[in-house]
Amino acid sequence: MSEPRSFKQDLTCVFGHPVAENPTQAMIEAAYQHHNLDWRYLTIEVLPQDLGDAVRGLRAMGFRGGNLTIPHKVEVIQHLDRTTEAAGLMGAVNCIVRDGDDLVGENTDGKGFVQSLLEVTDPTGKNIVMFGAGGAARAIGVEVALAGASQITIVNRSAERGEGLVSLLNDKTDATANFIQWDGDYDIPDGTDVVINATSIGLFPDVDARIPLNTATLKPEMIVSDVIPNPPETRLVREANEIGCTVLDGLGMLVNQGVIGFKLWTGVDPDPSVMRAALEEVFG
Ligand code: NDP
């Protein structure tokens, strides 16, 4: 006879778009199974006007945490008890963690990126060029600055968002940031250590979209990172590999932000290779 077992399952969730197969759900549930955790991770569609009720429901039903995607990352803050310092600086939360009775807002996007970067270099003193100034770029900018990057150049199409991120970095971190209005192909300056695409250019289905960048100015000694997880091999990833750069794809960041959330919810350090394999299966 088999051992009696508890049927209580701890719950985590993502509030966001309804997609047939949510990659984060596949990744987190693969890790729950691998680590024999009787937990579930659910994908729940929540309309913007229902977000407060959804968070109260999450609290009432004893969820241990959750993730948020667009359009909830900023609005959710007013419904939480507090945020971590970094999430407060970014003004965006992608991960909720229950701490006793409190729901705490954390942002694991930038931390996931820094974790990937640390696998190839120490960000301390590095000179970074980043395309984009949206949610992902804000999270990455703050975390690379907190991790010790010295110079961050933000190249963005809209001046308002770009200058907003530059002000945030200059006012709230020790890094020096400057804004470049994106107009035509951008030349990566000599002396750049890390180049990051934090825009949505190249995201499925626009896989052939080209980032306005003079690829001849990429050097083999540079680290080139693309945040786009789908497809993992973007045009930028392919071109940077051909030049001989050290390349980080968007799956690494997605796995690492999942690893950080998983540890915060369960206390267990998950196996990243299991999580990456689950994502690779979803993204084909
Ligand atoms: P946002 O909508 O907040 O920001 C999009 C950014 O891309 C803006 O800077 C926008 O510029 C720029 N952009 C979009 N299209 C163009 C274009 N045609 N030309 C120039 N600039 C453009 O999105 P997010 O920051 O939330 O997400 C960005 C990407 O990051 C997405 O592809 C997402 O999948 C990915 N991501 C990956 C994660 C991971 O773990 N790997 C985690 C989170 C996000 P402008 O300000 O001028 O509009």
201 lines ligand 1 (CB under 6 A): yes
Average pLDDT, the chain: 93
Q: What is the pLDDT of residue 1?
A: 42
C-alpha 201 to ligand 1 mean position (Å): 7
116 lines ligand 1 (CB under 6 A): no
Whether the predicted pLDDT of 279 surpasses 80: yes
CA distance linking residue 122 with residue 179, whole number of Å: 24
**Which pLDDT tens digit goes with each residue over 215-263?**
999 999 999 999 999 899 999 999 999 999 999 999 999 999 999 999 9
Contact assessment for residue 265 and residue 104, using Cβ atoms and an 8 Å cutoff = no
**Which pLDDT tens digit goes with each residue over 3-45?**
544 455 677 777 766 556 788 999 999 999 999 999 999 989 8
Active site residues: 73
Distance in Å from the first CA to the final CA of the chain: 40
Helix (H) or strand (E) holding 226: strand 223-226
- CATH numbers and ranges of domains, the chain: 10-107+253-283 (3.40.50.10860), 110-248 (3.40.50.720)
C-alpha 200 to ligand 1 mean position (Å): 4
Sheet with 39-45, strands from edge to edge, namely 39-45, 10-16, 65-68, 95-99, 102-106, 82-83
3-state secondary structure of 165: helix
What are the distances in angstroms from CA 264 to CA 66, 69, 152, 269?
A: 11, 18, 29, 9
**Token digits for 160?**
């308002």
Q: What is the pLDDT of residue 204?
A: 87
163 lines ligand 1 (CB under 6 A): no
C-alpha 259 to ligand 1 mean position (Å): 22
* Bridge partners (DSSP) listed for residue 14: 43, 67
C-alpha 199 to ligand 1 mean position (Å): 3
Across the range 146-150, mean pLDDT stands at 97
Contact assessment for residue 69 and residue 17, using Cβ atoms and an 8 Å cutoff = yes
109 lines ligand 1 (CB under 6 A): yes
* Bridge partners (DSSP) listed for residue 182: none
**Which ligand 1 atom sits closest to the C-alpha of 161?**
46
Task: Report which DSSP code applies to 211.
Answer: -
Whether the predicted pLDDT of 176 surpasses 70: yes
Q: What is the pLDDT of residue 18?
A: 53
Q: Of 72, 200, 228, which is best to mutate to test ligand 1, by the most ligand atoms within 8 angstroms of its C-beta? A: 200
Q: What is the pLDDT of residue 17?
A: 60
- Which position has the token pair 């984009």? 132
**Which pLDDT tens digit goes with each residue over 124-144?**
999 999 999 999 999 999 999
pLDDT grade for 71, boundaries at 50, 70 and 90? confident
Nearest protein Cα to ligand 1, atom 2: 134
CA distance linking residue 215 with residue 89, whole number of Å: 33
Across the range 143-164, mean pLDDT stands at 97
Whether the predicted pLDDT of 2 surpasses 50: no
Alpha helices in the chain (DSSP H): 23-34, 51-60, 85-90, 109-118, 135-146, 159-172, 235-243, 250-266, 272-282
C-alpha 146 to ligand 1 mean position (Å): 21
Residues whose CB is less than 8 angstroms from the CB of residue 70 and which lie 6 or more positions away in sequence, other chains included: 16, 17, 135
175 lines ligand 1 (CB under 6 A): no
The DSSP secondary structure of 76-128, one letter per residue, reads: GGGGSSEE-HHHHHHT--SEEEEETTEEEEE--HHHHHHHHHHTT---TT-EE
Sheet with 246-248, strands from edge to edge, namely 176-181, 151-156, 127-131, 194-197, 223-226, 246-248
Across the range 176-185, mean pLDDT stands at 97
Q: What is the pLDDT of residue 10?
A: 74
Bridge pairing between strands 194-197 and 39-45: unpaired
**Which ligand 1 atom sits closest to the C-alpha of 251?**
41
pLDDT grade for 70, boundaries at 50, 70 and 90? confident
Share of the chain above pLDDT 90, in %: 86
**Token digits for 117?**
């970067």
